[in-house]
Amino acid sequence: MGFLDDAKEKLTKAVDSQGEKIASGLDKAGDLINEKTGGKFGDKVDTGVDKAKDALDGLDGQDDDIK
């Protein structure tokens, strides 16, 4: 098993067990960015947060960990 396979396996386990906390952290990061930029890039930040959530949620092939 290569380094990246090992990292993906660990990340998948973390998302499975802590998905809601990760989603909350991503939302808070997006809110902070919007606050610091005055909402100038709000739509792009929201899109990025949603894509990050989808990518993390799909690591195990099931969309069930992050809402």
Q: State the Cα–Cα distance between residues 29 and 36, nearest whole angstrom.
A: 11
Q: State the Cα–Cα distance between residues 49 and 43, nearest whole angstrom.
A: 10
pLDDT digits 0-9 by tens, 54-67 = 988 888 777 776 76
pLDDT digits 0-9 by tens, 2-28 = 899 999 899 888 888 888 899 999 999
pTM over 0.85: no
Rg of the chain over Cα atoms, rounded to whole angstroms, equals: 14
Q: State the Cα–Cα distance between residues 54 and 57, nearest whole angstrom.
A: 5
Q: Contact 20/66 with Cβ under 8 angstroms?
A: yes
